[in-house]
Amino acid sequence: MFKTIWPLSAILSMRFLGLFLVLPVLSVYAMEMENATALLVGVIVGGYALTQAIFQVPFGTISDKIGRKPTLVFGLLVFFVGSVVCALSTDIYILMLGRFLQGAGAIGAVVPAMISDLVSEESRGKAMAMMGGSIAIAFALAMGLGPVLGASFGVASLFWITAALAIFAIFLVFVKVPTPPRIRHVYHNTIKTADILKDTNLMGMFIINGMQKGLMTIAFVLIPIIMTAPLEDGGFAWAKAELWKVYLPAMIFGLIAMGPAAVFGEKHNKAKQIFLVSIVLFVVAFVLMGTTDSSTLFVVGVVSFFIGFNMMEPLVQSLISKYAKVHQKGAALGMSNSFAYFMTFVGGTFAGLMLDISNREILGLSLAAVGLLWLIWTALKLSNPVKHSHLYVSVDHVDMKKLEALEDDAIAEWYVNETENLVVVKYRKDEIEEEVLKSKITH
């Protein structure tokens, strides 16, 4: 599985590394441009996410029609063009255009779809966790490298690095990514958006994914501006070159926390508990970042935020793929990603607007209050996923009338993989034996 998944994870993580590299310093960089306001800066920080949200579904549909690899290449080329526009921009509106173009290369749903095509049902959760982990590592690395490289070579250099990463990702698509088989899963129900929205676990994951990404953008608007603002304006008057002192400990502690969180969440099936701890860390982070007059405590708040973020990241996509039924996975992942990107844009815009019309104390305490509501929702509504086993039987041995009439509380779902000519039944092994189940559907 690793040989199949690592190129796709590398492509997605390189794309996110490019996006994340500029985040620690982008708000300060944009604020120095002519006609800049905190609101426009917030739009620029989260702007890529608006076009991501808009183009997620079209890119997924295109990938179904023309194939995953051509869609990946096209999306990476658009991302490359956007990065070059950002690197060459000297005006805040051209920078905004470049950020929108970066997001228009919306391959975020195409890569999970490829993983679903290439990896068996049992291994899919691990594959999604591996992909999420690679994104979390890219995020942590960007926190350490972005401020240092930006201070040494200028923020424009970060966009050139991003463009180079896009080209290398295209190279990987051609030489390392296998062409996925065309698989059509046939299931006895049609996809209904209403069914997805009625699933409290999936709704809980949509909220978790959206809140996590929205708060990330808010943090990246808030942190550099407050750290570098003059003391009389409520900031800490740090030089831009010193921002690495904020992000480096956040990167280190975030990486340390990510491993145990992934193990407890995946291996020990404690994802809900990991999410609850992460949300508490977010609440603590925004209380500190909003109210403290101490730069040390502000940095503690930043560290708390990134620990919570990195604990969540490896589990989000994996949990969505576990909660959704097989005929819902693509739609559920697409809806979740679109909502998360929309919240990313909303977060940046909201943070910029609040800094324009209010202050960081009101912003921090407001976000802490929202975090508490989020904590209560998650505690009451989200459940850890049920562990299932899978029965594989050749279609030739299955009585389709028996299969279509199959009803048992121990059975989560069944589907037909036409490419491999298999009937797959997802069931609880502790409630029904494999041979008993097989006898219910075979001739």
Structure confidence at residue 36 as a pLDDT band (50, 70, 90): confident
Tell me the C-alpha distance between 94 and 77, whole Å: 19
| Enclosing H/E stretch for 426 | strand 422-427
User: Are 127 and 223 in contact, with CB atoms under 8 Å apart?
Assistant: no
Q: How far is CA 353 from CA 218, 219, 342, in A?
A: 11, 14, 16
Give per-residue pLDDT as tens, 236-289: 999 888 888 898 888 889 888 988 998 888 888 899 999 999 999 999 999 999
What was the pLDDT predicted at 182?
57
Give pLDDT tens digits for 99-153: 999 999 888 778 877 877 777 666 766 777 777 778 878 877 887 888 889 888 9
Give the integer Cα–Cα distance in Å for 199 and 322. 12
Condensed to tens digits (0 to 9), the pLDDT of residues 143-183 reads 788 888 988 899 999 999 999 999 999 999 999 888 766 55
Burial of 202 (0-12, 13-18, 19+ CB in 10 A): buried
- Average pLDDT score, the chain: 86
Q: What is the pLDDT of residue 188?
A: 47
* Mean pLDDT on 220-227: 92
Ordered domains of the chain (ranges, CATH):
2-381 (1.20.1250.20), 389-441 (no CATH)
Q: Could you give the residue ranges of the DSSP H alpha helices within 189-328?
A: 193-198, 200-228, 244-262, 271-291, 295-323
Better-scored residue on pLDDT, 68 or 392: 392
Query: How many angstroms separate the Cα of 242 from the Cα of each of 149, 224, 324, 357?
Result: 12, 10, 44, 28
pLDDT by residue (tens digit) across 374-406?
Answer: 999 999 989 988 777 888 899 888 888 888 787
